[in-house]
């Protein structure tokens, strides 16, 4: 495989393999999901609530005939639900053979980033967020938090262990 040429922050050309991330926004924070884990992006139309489900489970969706568990990323990150009545977006993921729709405020673009430029989580970052992220990338005007998809979707086992 031929490496991709990229421009480093110093303006010089560097050759390295790059990772692609689908960007999403939740409560104004830019987050990145590894594109290798994303199956699709869709608008949520109807959702069925699940009685007695953990708070992070927003409901069940029917996506092209397949039942998908809708997970509120806002709730998973310890944030309140959005008061906005705009269209709801979801990112389709699969974990251990189960289909999930991660509910987000907005879906952005695909970014190609150098894995060597990923930094550890800041020391002042909320502990709950640290447990759900792999690190951060400093972009020109924002900080991109790279989510750990396995950790985000591991809430069931956390409850069972508690």
Question: 94-140, pLDDT tens digit by residue?
Answer: 998 899 999 999 999 999 999 889 999 888 888 889 999 999 999 98
161: CB partners within 8 A, 6+ apart: none
pLDDT score at 128: 85
Confidence of residue 85 (pLDDT cuts 50, 70, 90): low
> What single DSSP character describes residue 154?
-
CB under 8 Å to 136, separation ≥6 — which residues? 118, 119, 120, 121, 122, 143, 144, 145, 146
User: 118-144: buried (b, 16+ CB within 10 Å) or exposed (e) per residue?
Assistant: beebeeeeeeebbebbbbbbeeeeeeb
Say yes or no to pLDDT of 1 above 60: no
Q: Span 20-153: which CATH code?
A: 2.40.50.180
- Is residue 27 pLDDT above 70, yes or no? yes
At 42 the pLDDT is 94
Question: Taking 60 as the threshold, does the pLDDT of residue 24 lie above it?
Answer: yes
Average confidence score pLDDT of the chain: 84
Say what the pLDDT of residue 90 is: 95
Tokens describing residue 96: 């251990």
4, pLDDT greater than 60: no
pLDDT average, residue stretch 78-95: 82
Name which residue leads in pLDDT, 47 or 160.
Answer: 47
The answer to whether the predicted template modeling score (pTM) of the entire model surpasses 0.85 is: no
Mean pLDDT value of segment 52-67: 92
Rounded distance, CA 130 to CA 145, Å?
9
């Amino acid at each position: 495989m031929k490496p991709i040429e990229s421009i480093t922050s110093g303006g010089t050309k560097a050759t390295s393999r790059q990772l692609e991330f689908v960007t999403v926004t939740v409560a104004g924070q830019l987050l990145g999901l590894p594109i290798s884990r994303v199956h699709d992006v869709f608008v949520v139309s109807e959702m069925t609530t699940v009685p007695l489900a953990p708070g992070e489970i927003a409901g069940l969706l029917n996506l092209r005939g397949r039942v998908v568990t809708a997970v509120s990323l806002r709730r998973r990150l310890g944030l309140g639900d959005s008061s906005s009545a705009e269209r709801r977006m979801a990112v389709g993921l699969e974990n251990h053979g189960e289909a999930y729709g991660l509910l987000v405020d907005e879906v952005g673009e695909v970014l190609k980033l150098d894995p060597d430029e990923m930094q550890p989580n800041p020391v002042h970052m909320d502990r709950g967020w640290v447990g759900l992220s792999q690190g951060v990338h400093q972009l020109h005007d924002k900080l991109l938090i790279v989510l750990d998809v396995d950790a985000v979707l591991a809430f069931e086992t956390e409850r069972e262990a508690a």
